[in-house]
Structure 1
Amino acid sequence: MNTLSKAALGAACSLVCMPLAAQANETDGAAVQNPALTDLIVVTGKRPSAELADELAPPPGIAFPADTADIAARIPGGALVGNGALSGQLSYRGSTGERVLGRVNGQRFATGGPNAMDPPLHYAPSVLVESVAIARGVAPVSQGPSLAGAVNARLVQAEFAQGNSAEWQAHIAAQYRSVDNSYAAGGLLGLATADWRLGVIASREEGDDYEFPGGTAIGTSFERNLYGAHAGYRLGEGEVFAEYRRSETDPTGNPPFALDIVYFDTDFIQGGYRGDIAQDIALDLRVGHVAVRHLMDNQTTRQPAAPPMMARATFADADTTTAEAALRFGSAASHVELGADAELVEKSVTITNPANAAFFIEAQPDVQSDRYGAFVQWLGSAGDARFEIGARIDRTEQSAGTPQLGTAVPMGPRMLAGAFSASGRERGATTVDAVLRVWLPQDGFTPRLTLARKERVPSLLERFGWLPTEASFGLADGNIYVGNLDLEPETALIAETGFDLFTDRLSIRPTVYYRRVDNFIQGAPFDQTVGVVDSPVEMVAAMNGDPTPLRFDNVDAELVGADLDFVTRPLDRLEIAGTAGVVRARRRDIDDDLYRIPPANLRLSAIWSGDRLSFGADLFAAAGQGKVSLANDEQPSDGYAVVGAFARYRVLDGVALEAGVENIFHTYYQPHLSGRSRVGASDVPVGERLPGQGRGGWVRLTAQF
């Protein structure tokens, strides 16, 4: 393992590349195999190979956040979209939402909440996450369509043993944080031989409203349970595998949204085969299903609760069925891969008033999206240069049913429902992706280049959201949005270049990139007469408090940026690591900036690693963001810097005690991408960005056997 890899674990989870990415690929199906193409954050420190355990000893240096998106946001070019304790999204190089492919254990799925209260990493409790892998820059075509990068959270699993006798495996983590009086506990218990493996996982997390300089952010408490089982059996040179998980999110506050989580009850199941079926021929088969059942309201957690006339309880379901097949001809280092996949999504959203059974509206009536795709990908070399080139084609068919409304629903929504029912509620699109990634490994120096064309089909919400609501897939800006049946797919042309430099004392990986996006989907004024209520959509929106609704529309955009990560070792036991990033995102159709783009940021950490005791400090700083969208009435933000400290003591082999202090100087700050509070009883004024957490201590015990 190189110096950079070892330092990453202790550098406040600063993300760096690791050669273990290929090992993770064997279990979770991630297609990126070369460390030049993959970023990997190791969370638990558990690895398949015992020989590597000592090298992974330095402490992570942070309290495990309940939201794994907060961990993923530590990559170069990453930022957190803060929408609540369990609803954060990853912003990657200025792209967020469904533009960033999210998976858990290699399984892709549709979220249940229309406002993305359950983005993919919602289902990956950090106490159970072994690693978070992100495809650098763009995702390979073998991972499916995605406009920007791809993130995959791998949960702890039992691994095959070395011998024929059965061996027990265990991984346990327990943590307490004072800033929100939260606890988290979880772990793995496994039994395995060289031929089979069985494992069960479970976690429990609960926290109160968090403290910040100036008071308490009311409505930020959370509660979540997860449990599951998995198994694998050696079959020839491959493995037959299966896994099941149940995630139960109980009442959890979401201050930036009009409603809070009452529950997410979600079942994951997947299985298949992966491995060689003949010499230099490998097969990867995977089928899966995810069922999300969701309720959100403004009564259970919201303070104060809405009065009966304004009481709302929204039920949302989402079912995703996936099937994937890929054949690889050649070795792991040089091969051609052919594959096909399908993703079938069914969703429904019904808004009700718990105080009036005659009030209900099907805001998303039986909406469906069926995607079928195929790809070819070639990993090879030309002289000293290595390359990965691939192309894929996808056909997506989308449709919506006829909305049903209760007798207590007023005339405005009825008119809109009638117009939507009379419209053509079926759309189809064919998209084509192509990716070329080239790198030239040399003695400690690897230049690299990526060229890509990526497309994204509009989401079901963006296309079929006929009712003006605040559902915006997590923008949480208080605006009312409405869908657009005539949206075109987003098309991005991407170029990026950089290099990886590794020496005995310094490792650094800078990248510069350019993304030109045609038909970028963003909220735009509903019509040309902004503020003049002269349409049924504006009338309904005005009834809900916003006479200037936005419609999802196609615009043209460009994003230019640079980011890097580095590790330096001035002394044998001292390592200093960091990440930095900046992105400039503008519209090309008008003179304006894109909406909700993170400011320039810097993350630094220093760690002194002893034989048993290690300690250090970390700094995160963000500049003010003044390049904001005028068309969307976005407000600028101020810069800030936050400092933390941490220590780790190895009690026994495999047992460690960690502790730290977050935000030592009790700094008040408001991250630019944080949502705005809607909670009237909070110390955060209504309409203000949610502040970051104040000073707090944390302690964690981890053990693995």
Structure 2
Amino acid sequence: MKFPLRRALLSASALSFVAAPNAVMAQQSDAPEDDRSDASDLLTDTIIVTASKTDPLQADNQSPPDQTAIPADAAGIAARTPGGALVKNGALSGQLSYRGFFGERVLGRINGQRFASGGPNAMDPPLHYAPSILIDRIEVTRGTAPVSQGPSLSAAVNAQLVGTRFSDSAELAANAYAAGQYRSVDNSYAVGGQIGIATPRWRLGVIGSREEGDDYDYAGGTAVGTSFERQLYGVEGGFRAGEGEFFVEYRRSETDPTGNPPFALDIVYFDTDFLQAGYRGQLTDDLHLDLRMGHVTVRHLMDNQTTRHPAAPVTRARATFADADTNTGDIALRFGSDTRNVTVGGDVEMIDKDVTITNPTNAAFFLEAQPNLSSERIGGFVQWHGGIGAAEFQLGARIDRTSQTAGVPQLGAAVPMGPRMLAAAFAASGRKQDDTTVDLVARAWAPMADIVPRVTLSRKTRVPSLLERFAWLPTEASYGLADGNIYVGNQSLKPEVAYAVEAGVDFDGGAFTFRPTAYYRRVDDFIQGTPFDATVGVLDTPVEMVANMNGDPTPLKFRNVDAEFYGVDLDFSARPAARIVIDGTVNYVRGMRVDIDDDLYRIPPLNGRVSIAYEGDRFAIGGELTGAADQNAVSVSNDEDPSEGYMIVGIFAQFSLSDDVKFEAGVENIFDTFYQPHLAGRNRVEASDVPLGERLPSYGRGVWVRASANF
């Protein structure tokens, strides 16, 4: 059994955790083959999720235990990283909040592939497509993402699924991995696995998973409308050519009827296809090439009839169809060694979106709420990695040109006059916007005996989303804010510009490690929902009249404001005795408007966790305390309510029959504590035990069991 933090810091590598949440005993993860260097390792947190998987085709066969039930929503795992928190919008629709940022401000990818969400309200944020039972690791950049990872205002997240690696032996080798879990709190199960064959020159593998759960229980009742279903299957392959690899992979993700109480509609289906191919590896001793092309197709239906209890009356029945197609291409050439190099590259991203709202009982009622939206971006970057004496540096710059357009909305004969007037006004508007953005990132660190001080300065940008810019119809679509407000777009929006500084130190004292980071970020032209006009509640515009028809006489319009964020986060570990491990995290962030006296919306409160475990030769037992303080710094302009703090306790046990077969079990929320996380969405389901409009409480007491094996 190896102590992960000490090893990670000594090797100037990433902090490693085991599956959801922290690791009690974790080994160092193999680096991904396409994008690793000492700099990115030092500045990346790697959460090993299925570390119980010991691939026979890998040299490292150690098996660390998991410490809690693996949630279906992978965002709940990513939120375990220092600086992270979970925006819980449903069983499969959560988002990672990182140092106060969430949504499209945090770049999300699966297997290194970026893509556009299909749902206008982000029912399928990127991690929706990463079943936890199939995740090998989740990588979260520490602070600001480097320019080589593409445009993003803050951090970048990448969920790497299990896969087949090349064989170390000269002969054909085969492997199989399987895992399964049962969780009583929502009567859910998850099963998944991978089968692969490989030689030193080629590899071929398939993966698959199935998850299903009922409405979950909380202390005092049942949160009705929270059941879920999802399956994924795929195939991948690779061929070595010299020191590089040609690779290709295809996956199909199918989400069946799944409840989303914070939203007006629930998921009926997401049918999504992922395809990507490329090359990664050395062309010569001093030249490395990364080449990737990808395509993602999302087909989505949501309604208030299939799983909503009770179903909406006929006159308010809605079924919304949403499509999203993303085509991407990336190329990067690295000149030099792993630690002394210059990388130049470029990337292109083309997105097409359509959203049509219908009444399933009336064929004459339909509106194209997002008509033929298109975004085309092309970017280029240069990044240098070098050093002076003991100091190491990573300096990068990128420039992007983005063009966004919208079509003319079509409406059915049964649509009333108000929306028709808005559609006509939108059709007569420009419906086109071009933006040029520039990002700059400078990182520095100095490895010393026991400490690694580090600092980052950055200027990062985000172009307004297609929704924020072209939402002509007042609806609740807000990319997952789920606050009950109605929003309308703004074609005059400027790109967000964030200036950030962060400083921290990684300390390794052998039996004790400590990694604090302090940061400050000023965001000019931050995009926020603001009152539509100065006469709030007075219905004197078509937008307010239509919004009132939809239940909210005080709509919000996306506008540029000014904001700032500051805070500190840290993680630590200690081994007071040979077989006892203690570790934890602490997070604090404050987000405020600068243009007016107000706090920003959905900022997590001070929170943290600490775990302790005893490690035996083939078993481990332990527990974890998780808590959050009251949150009283809330947004008045978004009608945000304060929240109360809480503390919950869970316990676990693990037993390994061998390095390849493991059994785990535990009890979550052992005292059946009632608590409502500040970032939880609000209930919209009438038949639930949760009152309408209340924050959804989290899971009550429940047991979980899990088994995994490698063959």
Instruction: Specify whether residues 677 and 32 from structure 1 end up closer, same or farther in structure 2 by C-alpha distance, changes over 3 A only.
Output: farther
The whole-number CA distance in structure 2 between the counterparts of 1:247 and 1:333 is 38
> Which amino acid letter does the alignment assign opposite residue 527 of structure 2?
I
Q: Give the drift of 1:385.
A: 0.7
Q: How does 1:294-309 map to 2 (within 5 A)?
A: 294-309=300-315
What is the deviation of 1:449?
Answer: 0.3
2:611 is aligned to 605
Regions of 4+ moved over 6 Å: 15-19
| Secondary structure of the structure 2 residue equivalent to 1:463 | helix
What is the 5 A alignment of 1:331-480? Answer: 331-480=337-486
| Pick aligned residue for 1:657 from 655, 663, 678 | 663
Is 1:248 paired with 2:248? no
Secondary structure of the residue aligned to 1:649 is strand
- The residue number in structure 1 matching 2:5 is 4
Alpha-carbon shift at residue 33 of structure 1 (Å): 5.0
> How is 1:52-91 mapped onto 2 (pairs within 5 angstroms)?
52-54=60-62, 57-91=63-97
How much does 1:4 deviate?
Answer: 1.0
In the alignment, what sits opposite 1:672? 678
Indicate conservation of the 8 Å contact 2:281/2:289, yes or no: yes
In 2, the alpha carbon distance for the partners of 1:15 and 1:119 equals 26
Q: Which amino acid aligns with 2:69?
A: A
* Residues in 1 aligned to 2:217 and 2:463: alpha-carbon distance in whole angstroms: 40
* Secondary structure, counterpart of 2:33 in structure 1: helix
Structure 1 match to 2:10: none
1:14 to 22, 31, 44: 22
**Distance in 2 of aligned mates of 1:32 and 1:404:** 53
C-alpha spacing 1:285/1:35, structure 2 compared with 1 (3 Å): closer
| Cα distance in 2 for residues equivalent to 1:384 and 1:52 | 31
Letter paired with 1:14: N
Give the aligned residue type for 1:274: R
- Structure 1's 12 and 84: CA in aligned 2 closer, same or farther, altered over 3 A? closer
SS class of match (2:148)? helix
Unaligned runs of 5+ in 2: 8-14
Name the CA distance, whole Å, in 1 between partners of 2:507 and 2:319: 54
Instruction: State whether structure 2 residue 40 is matched by structure 1 residue 40.
Output: no
The answer for the alignment partner of 2:31 in structure 1 is 24
The equivalent of 1:164 in structure 2 is 170
Q: Does the Cα contact within 8 Å between 1:25 and 1:32 map onto a contact in 2?
A: no
1:528 aligns with 2:507: no
> Given that residues 238 and 277 in structure 1 are in contact (C-alpha distance below 8 angstroms), is that contact kept between their aligned partners in structure 2?
yes
Partners in 1 of 2:457 and 2:23 — Cα distance? 23
Per the TM alignment, residue 619 of structure 1 is displaced from its structure 2 partner at its CA by 1.0
CA contact (8 A) 1:19 1:35 kept: no
Residue 17 and residue 662 in structure 1: after superposition, are their counterparts in 2 closer, same or farther (change >3 A)? Answer: closer
CA distance in 2, matches of 1:151, 1:369: 22
Q: Which residue is equivalent to 2:636?
A: 630
Shift of 1:34: 3.8
Alpha-carbon spacing, 1:463–1:11, altered in 2? closer, same or farther (3 Å): closer
Please give the alpha-carbon distance, in whole angstroms, between the structure 1 residues aligned to 2:558 and 2:38. 33
- Counterpart residue identity of residue 224, structure 1: R
Deviations 1:417-445 (A, max 9, x none): 00000000000100000000100001121
Work out whether residues 31 and 142 of structure 1, in 8 Å CA contact, stay in contact via their aligned partners in 2: no
1:455 partner letter: T
Quick check: 9-18 or 255-264, which moved more?
A: 9-18
Residue 53 of structure 1 deviates from its aligned partner by: 2.7
- Is the 8 Å Cα contact of residues 183 and 704 (structure 2) preserved in structure 1? yes
Question: d(CA) in 2 for partners of 1:608 and 1:642?
Answer: 20
- Of 661, 666, 691, 1:685 maps to 691
Aligned residues: 701
Whether the 8 Å contact between 2:58 and 2:165 is mirrored in structure 1 is: no
Contact 1:376 1:391 (8 Å CA) reproduced: yes
Distance 1:244 1:3, change over 3 A: closer
Conserved? CA contact 2:17–2:26, under 8 Å? no
Letter in 1 for 2:615: S
Does structure 2 retain, via aligned residues, the 8 Å contact 1:8–1:16? no
Q: Deviations over 1:593-630 (max 9, x none)?
A: 01110000011111111111101001110011000011
Counterpart contact for 2:61–2:659, Cα < 8 Å: no
Q: CA deviation at 1:653?
A: 2.3
From 537, 543, 546, the counterpart of 1:537: 543
- Distance of aligned partners of 1:539 and 1:112 in 2 relative to their CA distance in 1, 3 Å threshold: same
Q: What is the CA–CA distance in structure 2 between the aligned matches of 1:627 and 1:53, rounded to whole Å?
A: 47
Distance 1:541 1:15 in 2: 48
Q: Which moved more, 1:651-660 or 1:66-75?
A: 651-660
Q: Kindly indicate whether the alpha-carbon contact (under 8 Å) linking 1:11 and 1:577 is maintained by their aligned counterparts in 2.
A: no
Q: Work out whether 1:518 is the aligned partner of 2:524.
A: yes
**8 Å Cα contact 2:44-2:141 kept in structure 1:** yes
Of 120, 127, 131 in structure 2, the residue corresponding to residue 121 of structure 1 is 127
How far did 1:174 drift?
A: 0.2
**Cα distance, 1:66 vs structure 2:** 0.2
The Cα of 1:3 is off from its aligned counterpart by: 4.2
- 1:704: Cα distance to partner? 1.8
AA at the equivalent of 2:141 = A
User: In 2, Cα distance between the equivalents of 1:508 and 1:436?
Assistant: 23
The answer for unaligned runs of 5 or more in structure 1 is none
Matched residues in 2 for 1:11 and 1:618: separation? 14
Alignment partner of 1:625: what SS?
Answer: coil
How far, CA to CA, are the matches of 1:218 and 1:325 in structure 2? 47
Whether the 8 Å CA contact 2:19–2:47 is kept in 1: the answer is no
Note if 1:130 corresponds to 2:131. Answer: no
Give a deviation string over 1:320-352, Cα, whole Å, max 9, x none: 000001100011121100000000000000000
- CA drift of 1:380 comes to 1.2
Cα distance change on mapping 1:311 and 1:18 into 2, 3 Å = same
Q: CA deviation at 1:288?
A: 0.4
Work out whether residues 161 and 194 of structure 1, in 8 Å CA contact, stay in contact via their aligned partners in 2.
Answer: yes
For 2:44 and 2:260, the matched residues in 1 are separated by 32
Aligned-residue RMSD, C-alpha: 1.6
SS class of match (1:26): coil
Alpha-carbon separation, structure 2, partners of 1:15 and 1:632:
38
Asked whether the equivalents of residues 241 and 273 of structure 1 are also in contact (C-alpha less than 8 Å), the reply is yes
Q: Deviations over 1:361-411 (max 9, x none)?
A: 000000000000000001111111111110000000000000000000000
Q: Label 1:10 to 1:572 Cα distance change in 2 as closer, same or farther (>3 A).
A: farther
Cα displacement (A) at 1:58: 3.4
Match of 1:323 in 2: 329
Aligned-residue offset at 1:164 = 2.0
Contact kept in structure 1, 2:166 and 2:200, CA below 8 Å? yes
Cα 1:24–1:18 shift into 2, 3 Å: farther
**What are the Cα deviations for residues 90-109 of structure 1, in whole angstroms up to 9, with x where unaligned?**
00000000000000000000
Q: Over residues 249-287 of structure 1, what are the superposed CA-to-partner deviations in whole Å (9 max), with x where a residue is unaligned?
A: 000000000000000000000000000111210111100
Q: CA deviation at 1:305?
A: 0.2
Question: Given the alignment, which residue of 496, 517, 525 partners 2:502?
Answer: 496
Change (3 A) 1:674 1:576: same
Deviation digits for residues 203-241 of structure 1, max 9, x if unmatched? 000000000111110000000000000000001110000
- Aligned AA (1:25): P
Identity, in percent, stands at: 64
User: Is the CA contact 1:481–1:549 (under 8 Å) kept in the aligned structure 2?
Assistant: yes
- 1:11–1:605: 8 Å Cα contact kept in structure 2? no
C-alpha separation in 2, matches of 1:658 and 1:299: 39
Q: Which residue of 2 aligns with 1:222?
A: 228
How far, CA to CA, are the matches of 1:160 and 1:119 in structure 2?
A: 31
State which of 259, 283, 286 in structure 1 corresponds to 2:265. 259
Q: TM-score scaled to structure 2, two decimals?
A: 0.97
Task: State the secondary structure of the residue aligned to 2:41.
Answer: coil
